[in-house]
Amino acid sequence: SQQGEEDPQALSIQEGENATMNCSYKTSINNLQWYRQNSGRGLVHLILIRSNEREKHSGRLRVTLDTSKKSSSLLITASRAADTASYFCALDADTGTASKLTFGTGTRLQVTL
């Protein structure tokens, strides 16, 4: 299965702490994208990392990709209560044009004050 698997399934931290989520997969990919979802609403695109990249940053977000281990991680630094959401990794193993993404089951992040 191409499906990504996020780990942990749920994570609870205090505001100001860092949160790390991992995504593992089984097949070759063109790129991997991370999304945030608040309370079952739409998905917000966070960051895309291509298969030839190892690390990308965007604000408080840092994403790494290890294609040899078929894994990616999303680090949120200095977390805030507003970061409380579900986070999904999405694999693009098709054309690389986001036409067909395969999602994992997500990590539910709870940030408490």
**35 is a contact residue toward another protein (CB under 8 A):** yes
Using the contact rule CB under 8 A, the part of the chain among 52-60, 63-71, 73-81, 89-97 near another protein is 89-97
**90 is a contact residue toward another protein (CB under 8 A):** yes
Using the contact rule CB under 8 A, the part of the chain among 14-22, 27-35, 59-67, 73-81 near another protein is 27-35
| DSSP structure string for 35-62 | EEESTT--EEEEEEEETT--EEEETTEE
Distant-in-sequence, close-in-space partners of 82: CB < 8 Å, separation ≥ 6: 111
**48 is a contact residue toward another protein (CB under 8 A):** yes
